[in-house]
Amino acid sequence: MHDIIIRGGTVYDGTGSKPLSADIAIDNGIITVIGTIDAPAREEINAAGQIVTPGFVDVHTHYDGQVTWDPYLQPSTCHGVTTAIMGNCGVGFAPCKPDQQDWLIGLMEGVEDIPGTALAEGIDWRWESVPEYMDTLETSPLSIDIGVQVPHGALRAYVMGQRGADLEPANPTDISEMSQLVVEALEAGALGFSTSRTEKHRAANGDHTPSFKSEADELHGIARAMGKTGKGVLQLIADFRDVDEEFALIRGMVEASGRPLSLTIEQDDRYPTVWKQVLDHIEKAANDGLPMQGQVPPRATGLLMGLTASLNPFIMHSTFREIGHAPLEKQVEALKDPAFRARLLAEEPTYPEGEIITLLCTGHHKMFELGNPVNYEPEPKNSVAAKAEQSGKDPREVILDMMLQDNGNALMYFPLMNYLEGSLDHVHTMLTHPNTAFGLGDGGAHVGIICDASFPTTLLTHWTRDRTRGPKLPIEWVIHGQTQKNAELVGLKDRGVLQVGMRADINVIDYDNLTLFPPTIVHDLPAGGKRLIQRAKGYTATLVNGEVAFREGEPTGILGGKLIRGAQERPAAAQ
């Protein structure tokens, strides 16, 4: 009598191998048989006509706050994710001195667009150090497994105080203390260390993230200390304004530590060739024996704009600000009023030169109707600019018409990164490069403007089944990237593969009917905060540690997730 048998599915084992038809038996959270199984089970899942995959591993999330009050971590768990890694991009909530709590909330609010009121209401601060934070998570209810990284921003503030927030260089004593704290966290089971070197990351008050100008002595010193432990991975984001100089600094972290490093790669219209230069540098480093990979998104990094979102193209208009905080129905009423509408369209606001907000408000060539089903590879002929030219209307009038659909609940799509002149060839290049991994879903972050935690479903539906604007990708290769490859990227060899003796984190997916729904706004954060949620249909069952934790993406109430303590070796019993 087995605990669970998944019967008759097409099994993609996560290694990239071709599928096989087989049953899978699970006992005590472990896969015990793969093949034809005649024995009974306490529970059976009929997977006929469906695919069976390992649970997906999301290496780039920001649930550091949400995990303390929400065991279900939606929207990631709506998309087959069974392991989520937090603490990316140098932001998080440990270490933290009591008098720095509000400051860290402001940093996370600004960098990752998570409402500060929700964080202040939801986090109970039962910790100061990273090990204490991990102890708190270990005793918290969890539906999936989570891993923690040490965030450089919090670390710098903890050690250097205001000097760290003011971007002052770290002195040798600072570096020694930061290194010691990172080692302490790694010994307690943290999976790595993350930092940010991008001007895009700013606190709620507009200040740069504390790690923005960290120098080589600091970064290499921390990396060297990690190397001595033989533990942990490195993760970062950088602007690469001087590609050679910046990459040399980052490469030096790997040379000093010997530890694996992954970094964000996206195409930015303002610097359209930088992504390729960085990728070339990574390839050379890898050829030199350095464990470096790029984290790349499987679609354009797209902002969602509308009356219900945190952003719309009229936020710089003083006329719109008159109604900006009014209830939605009042906004719709005003925007349909001919006199108010005429006054709004006649206004020419002043935009800050060189700031990305200018592009977001005036880049009509990159604004699209989101639609249902959502089209994440829209054609230029369907942009606001093209529609305005076709109709002879002011582009802003076209925007208003789009936003007013669905009683003002409609969302527009702005592919900010990875959509240069409507081309998506570079996304295919990034995804298929031998030195990249799938990442940047940002689950738990940017909750009012981005909903990219649905990347796993995009990879399955769009890239293996539905794509029309370019080549598709083999389903077994895509599944490998979301399972074994991502797991090993952060040192987890006990999951991501369906083999006897391995951990039973498993998805049963109705692949032919797998559907990604449009994002919607919900108000379910603490203090009534709003966020975007995107659901899917077709995740028949998601098993975590051998139990069905989700059916059709909805929680069953089983909380079998755990905090991951350190890198995990392949089980000795695994075949």
Are both 279 and 424 inside the same structural domain?
yes
Do 239 and 95 lie in one domain? The reply is yes
185 with 268, same domain: the answer is yes
Residues 6+ apart with CB under 8 A from 187: 229, 231
Q: Is residue 343 part of a domain?
A: yes
CA distance 403 to 397: 10
Q: Which residue has the tokens 């206004």?
A: 347
Do 320 and 292 share a structural domain? Answer: no
Residue 354 is predicted with a pLDDT of 75
Q: Are 102 and 177 in a shared domain?
A: yes
DSSP state of 268: B
Looking at the domain assignment, is residue 47 inside a domain? no
Q: Does some domain include residue 540?
A: no
Percent of the chain with pLDDT over 70: 100
What CATH number has the domain bearing residue 201? 3.20.20.140
Q: Give a yes or no: residue 521 inside a domain.
A: no
Looking at the structure, do residues 340 and 439 belong to the same domain, yes or no? no
Q: Express as a percent the part of the chain with pLDDT over 90.
A: 95
What tokens were used for 350?
Answer: 């002043």
- Kindly state whether residues 317 and 247 are assigned to the same domain: no
In a domain, 500, yes or no: no
- Whether residues 126 and 228 share a domain: the answer is yes
Chain segment 77-114, per-residue pLDDT in tens: 999 999 999 999 999 999 999 999 999 999 999 999 89
424 in the same domain as 410 = no
Does residue 542 sit within a domain? no
Given 401, 430, 446, the domain boundary residue is 446
H/E segment holding residue 425: helix 425-432
| Structure confidence at residue 424 (pLDDT) | 72
Domain boundary, last residue among 414, 432, 462: 414
Question: Same structural domain for residues 252 and 395?
Answer: no
Q: Give the chain's domain count.
A: 2
SS (H, E, C) 156-224: HHHHHCHHHHCCCCCCHHHHHHHHHHHHHHHHHCCCEEEEEECCCCECCCCCECCCCCCCHHHHHHHHH
454 part of a folded domain: no
Write the pLDDT tens digit of every residue in 541-563: 999 999 999 999 999 999 999 99
Across 446-457, average pLDDT: 96
Same domain assignment for residues 278 and 352: no
C-alpha span between 468 and 373 (Å, rounded):
14
Same-domain check for residues 172 and 102: yes
pLDDT, tens digit, for every residue of 380-414? 999 999 999 999 999 999 999 999 999 999 999 99
The whole domain housing 327 covers 308-414
* Buried residues in 107-128 as b, exposed as e (16+ CB within 10 A): bbbbbbbbbbebbbebbeeebb
Q: What is the pLDDT of residues 175-218, one digit of tens each?
A: 999 999 999 999 999 999 999 999 999 999 999 999 999 999 99
pLDDT at 491 over 80: yes
Q: Domain for residue 317, yes or no? A: yes
